[in-house]
Chain A
Amino acid sequence: MNQEELNNRLSEIRDKLINIEQTMDSRIFLLCEAENSFAVSRFLFKDLSLRFVIATGIDSEDCFEILYHFSNDETGCVVTVKAFIRDRENPSIESITPFIPAAEWIEREIHDILGIEIKNHPNMRRLILADDWPEGVYPLRKDFKR
């Protein structure tokens, strides 16, 4: 799938997105709300056969963001789904692990250190924090005090 085809296919899910930002030829950001990120990621993975690279969790000023990075290996283009989680009190997002098993650990890590609830995750146990780390304390949140 070349770049032009990719751009055409991405327009199919335009109604689920807030915006499509293309900063350079090989870098596309799909901005969406957390409710739609599952459908968008599923479309990229199942319908466009892009490769899942990694996910990133960010604590922004007024919301949490989760970035799912997908790569189109034929052109080297990286498509990033930027999902905004507006609810800071009870942040949650749908898990993509049911159809991308490789996302299991990174979602567990994001849950550990940012405290974002990952809904329908098949194996949500603690991954990287110490065994005696207190519940409900999330070290990479901006308001974390050591």
Chain B
Amino acid sequence: MSWKIWSLKKSVWVFHVNTGACNNCDIEIVNLLTPRYDVERLGIKLVGSPRHADALLVTGVVTAQAAPRLREVYRQTSKPCVVFAMGACACHTGIFNGGYHVVGPVDKIIREVDPNAIIAYVPGCPPKPEAMISGVVKALSVL
């Protein structure tokens, strides 16, 4: 294991990107950070800039307006970077499939920038906080 991967897994700093979510997934993410689940005790921390982040937490279908922003945010994160597609919309556009503004899903946009990106999917509408933690654990354990 390279030291980069080791240090990433030690404490994952996360940048949250909303690319057109309905806010339901975002509320569940807030739920992760508040005392009930408190993922900061596991070293998972929300940061304010993609340049500080080890992982991107992407919620929502990618809309036409948000796609260039998501690409830019991914370019600015330090690599290796894990992308978590949170919720049904981010995984496969969900109920918004075929909408006039939808260019997603998230993995398609990320792979345009980096074909070898590490992408983890957490389906659910919204996924439970437990499912999100489980997704992070599973993604990190295969790195």
Residues of B near A146 (CB, < 8 A) are 98, 100
B98 near A130 (CB under 8 angstroms)?
A: no
CA distance A144 to B100 in the complex (A): 9
Q: Which of A115-140 contact B (CB under 8 A)?
A: 129-133, 139-140
Q: Which residues of B contact A140 (CB under 8 A)?
A: 100
Whether A139 lies near B101 (C-beta < 8 A) is: yes
For chain A, give the interface size range: under 10
Inside 8 A of B64's CB, which chain A residues have their CB? 130, 132-133
Complex-state Cα separation, A131 to B69, whole angstroms: 13
Indicate whether B76 reaches chain A with its CB closer than 8 angstroms: no
Q: Does B59 contact A (CB under 8 A)?
A: no
Residues of A within 8 A of B (CB): 129-133, 139-140, 144, 146
Contacts A140-B100, A146-B98 known; 6 new A-B pairs at CB < 8 A: A130-B101, A131-B65, A139-B100, A139-B101, A144-B100, A146-B100
